[in-house]
A and B are shown apart, each in its own frame.
Chain A
Amino acid sequence: MTLPRRPLLLAALAAPFSAKAQTPGQPLLAAPWDEVLREARGRPMFFNAWGGDDRTNAFIAWAGGRVRDLHGVDVRHVRLRDTAEAVARVIAEKAAGRNAGGSVDMIWINGPNFLAMKEQGLHFGPFVDRLPNARFIDREGKPSTVVDFTVPVEGLAAPWRMAQVAFIADSARVPNPPLSMEALVAWARANPGRTTHPNVRNFMGVTFLKQALYEVAPDPPALLRPVTDETWRPAADALWAWYDRLRPHLWRGGRQFPENGPAQRPLMLDGEIDLFITFNPSEAAVAIANNQLPATARPFVLERGTIGNTSFVSIPYNAANAAGAMVVANFLLSAEAQAHGADPRVLGNPTVLDIAALPEAERARFAALPRSPAILQPEALGRPLQEPHPSWMTRITAEWESRYGR
């Protein structure tokens, strides 16, 4: 599949220069870094991040401890059931006229949530280029660090982890995993009840459908433009035709779904399912190390490629502690944090940094990481497919809900 990557890439690279400030005149955006550090010290910083994955929660707790030691910022993880909760809170505060001293300091964000805030001018910044560690971001090699779901980030959110769709199969039970969404239907038919997908209201669940959409849509490049009625109908018809063939063969007959991605792990560990989707190609390795998956779990990707994206942190325009958020965002971009996150015993996440651009000592952190047979190397992963425009995601969720949520 060929997608028009180049124009987007160019737009992305040009982005920092065309960025329009959402909080112009914010003194923090012009302050020297020392001053940001001084202002952040000793104050609480409420990091609103989806709390459904214990590995990520542990990583955030570790990062919070490090930032406390280094800069005296008191990081508090507000564990969200859904990122939209934090966005709703910011919007509600704006509606109530609370334009300063807001209760959300930083949000783990991308996709529709990022776009919703951007469209309503609710992001603080652009702040990314104020962060000392931002210069190591691999903007060319990993364009999704500057274009999120086709939407230019424009320095309004700092990348902190890479994600790419992969599937995990228990190799003891699935010697030859299906390498396309079409092959998955045949596999599920032969192995009824042995695979599932997360609830479609959850980002992982809707990503499962987007991955299929890339394969079955009559006009895949249309996915990179905002959805219209003309582009939606044929794509949706193809998607639901595929899904209706798959669904009866899913776990619990496709009438019940795990709430989110990590909820699939115990299902595989217990032997209820043999195959599931993930956003972290290293999930199998990390989960095996933590007794959360059988030792025979192995990741694989589809032959025509899988969707990849970047996780960001953004700061609401009315954040009470924007300085603290900047300090944490900068720490998340540090080689120390990125190498810790890349450790297959921690998150096993590919870094957002350009390792080659790092100073020698920092590069060594990555070289020292252990390897695991349950990790897909970048060559095997292939170049990620770009996320469709966020409007597709919203539309898929809504229509899935009205078709199957009754």
Chain B
Amino acid sequence: MLRAVPLLTALIFLGPIAAGLAGTLLPAFGWLPALGGTAFSLDPWRALLAAPGLGKAVLLTLGTGFAATLLSFGLVVAFCAATQGSPLARRAQAALAPLLATPHAALAIGFAFLVAPSGWIARALSPWATGWERPPDWATVNDPWGIALIVGLTLKEVPYLLLMAFAGLGQVRAAEGMRAAAALGYGPVTGWLKVVLPQLYPQLRLPLYAVLVFSLSVVDVSLILGPGTPPTLSALVLRWFSDRELTQWFPAAAGALLLLLIVLAAILAWRVAERVVASLGRRWIAAGGRGGAGLVLRVGAPTLMAALLVANAASLLVLIAWSFAGPWRFPEALPATFTLATWQAQVQAIATPAATTLTVALATTALAMGLALACLEAEQRHGFRPGQRVLALIWLPLLLPQLAFLFGWQVALVRLDLDGTLGAVVWTHLLFVLPYVFLSLADPWRALDRRYARSAASLGAGPWRVFLAVKCRLLLRPLLVAAAVGFAVSVGLYLPTLFAGAGRVTTLTTEAVTLAAGADRRILGAYATLQALLPMAVYAAAVMLPAWLHRDRRGMRPA
């Protein structure tokens, strides 16, 4: 039974991706019999290339995707280099974790409320500092260059990369390396860059690729913060997929494939750049420059990081403020009155998507936890140790643009008569939740001292009792954190819900993105607030529950 689980997991996991990719690839070359496409042709590509705005959309996609990734990576490296060994790093870690739980869409909406010409920042500074009685005619969101989109993505990617970097730093012996570098006279920042970064980078590679892919192919953040004429390629493709003229599906499929090619080319380019930077870096290291105190970076990086944290927190605060706002006109810094009216008026409408969000996220998380634990347990009991290649497969849904296989997967779901059901949405969410759950569980699970299990077994406990009473209990903290991560990922998913839910299954995320097109900010604030608070509450529970359960067991408390 347990032996079959890894295979079953692979099927559940890879089936939709294979079906989805095939279902996108064939229409991209004219094959979709249901719509009369019964011969292969290049017409979809011709239609794609003739589409207005395609060139600009591709440039925009590349520009925003690379800029957001480089910016996030640069800031994370600078911050780590500047704070190695200082208490700042630990504090940043504690502050960042809850931000990681915030869905992209909620953060993007809050960020728009913050930086729009009539946003909170402008309100706080007007008219006393700016002289504005009316908002300036500036494009600070949805700007044609995608700057708001880049910053919005960076706000969300930095916490993720930073936590990944902290996790990686635990595996390379950074402190020892730094001591040796200091003894040889290296400045702290230069020493970190020369000694720690080359060891850390391999640990960051896959998360970085995931960030790059996400930034190049994101749809919801692009709809909220990105430009509209033309939008990024992913938003353009989504527009064609929902066109009334189903013939648009052919160029849309070609567009989704183009996006996939762009993403693969981007990863390849990044890989090549890694080599170039590595060889240049080796020369730089070999040259032996000791570097100075690195004061600029040691002051600048933490300042920037603090600004980013403040922007994140303010984006969430402004959502909450709007949801409780009475009349709030420009340039008032705060609403004239606070009221429950919005929540009271929306409670009925918001309850349905909130319940669906909760149901889907709980079901997906439970399934993902079950599968991940069964795989890990099968690995320990039966010695199935997945090779690197197999392990790379689990990153697949995070390394492919969602659009590239979700359309084909939707067609398959229609065939199976499953589209628009909760089951289909849960299954599709599982593709994105399982990798995160598995990756955050695997290390602590494998690292658990085997002697605990052996002692229990020698006392007569069967394998399942060992599993439940020893392993799960000892690893309760990482288990709950993994579950909270899975929950947060599910809550935040936009495209997978849209495609598998066929419009019938709507979550707080799909509703918030729909409302972001122009609804009353107070109502939008209410949806986005709830969307952001749900995963945060679950995360808080995951952190507090073990502490409470283990309140009388000193040995189980974190050091």
Contacts and interface: CB of A to CB of B under 8 A. Distances in A.
Interface in B396-433: 411, 414-415, 417, 419-420
Interface stretch (B199-207, B292-300, B518-526): B518-526
11 contacts: A51-B515, A52-B518, A85-B242, A86-B503, A89-B503, A193-B137, A252-B137, A252-B139, A266-B118, A269-B329, A294-B329
A256 B53 contact: no
Contacts of A263: 517-518
Nearest to A103: B420
Interface stretch (B41-49, B225-233, B456-464): B225-233
Interface string B482-525: 00000000000000000000111010000100110111110100
A311 interface: no
B514 A61 contact: no
A214 to B, nearest CB: 24
Interface in B3-23: none
Interface in A66-112: 76-82, 84-89, 91-93, 95-98, 103-104, 112
Interface of A: 46, 48, 51-54, 57-58, 61, 65, 76-82, 84-89, 91-93, 95-98, 103-104, 112-113, 116, 193, 199, 201, 251-253, 255-267, 269-272, 290-292, 294, 401-402, 404-406
Complex A-B, nearest 8 residue pairs according to Cβ-Cβ distance, in ascending order: A263-B518, A84-B244, A95-B34, A270-B118, A271-B134, A259-B517, A193-B137, A402-B52
A299 B228 CA distance: 28
Contacts of B242: 81-82, 84-85, 88
Contacts, number: 149
A272 B414 contact: no
Contacts of B523: 54
B134 A272 contact: yes
A79 B516 CA distance: 12
A266 B243 CA distance: 28
A260 B34 CA distance: 33
Interface residues of B, number: 52
B327 interface: yes
Interface string B344-387: 01001100100000000000000000000000000000000000
Given A88-B246, A103-B420, A255 B52 contact: no
A239 B318 CA distance: 42
A256 B506 contact: no
Interface string B19-63: 000000000000000110000000000000000110110000000
B416 to A, nearest CB: 11
Contacts of B229: 199, 255-257, 404-405
Contacts of A86: 503
Given A112-B244, A259-B517, A405-B229, A96 B415 contact: yes
A27 B415 CA distance: 27
A272 B135 contact: yes
A272 B118 contact: yes
A84 B243 contact: yes
Nearest to B510: A79
Nearest to B35: A95
Contacts of B53: 401, 405-406
Contact of B246 (A58, A91, A292): A91
B539 interface: no
Nearest to B520: A54
B243 A103 contact: no
A103 B329 contact: no
Given A54-B520, A251-B137, A272 B117 contact: yes
A384 to B, nearest CB: 25
B432 to A, nearest CB: 22
Contacts of B345: 58
Given A54-B519, A103-B419, A262-B520, 10 more contacts: A52-B517, A80-B503, A82-B242, A88-B244, A103-B503, A255-B229, A256-B144, A265-B520, A271-B135, A272-B135
A48 to B, nearest CB: 7
Contacts of B52: 401-402, 405-406
A168 to B, nearest CB: 15
B160 interface: no
A272 B52 CA distance: 29
Nearest to A262: B518
Contacts of A404: 229
A238 B542 CA distance: 64
A85 B349 CA distance: 21
B330 interface: yes
Contacts of A291: 326-327
B154 interface: no
B521 A266 contact: yes
Nearest to B231: A405
Given A252-B137, A260-B517, A79 B511 contact: yes
Contacts of A290: 520
A294 B520 CA distance: 14
Nearest to A79: B514
Nearest to A406: B53
Interface-central residue, B34, B230, B518, by most chain A CB under 10 Å: B518
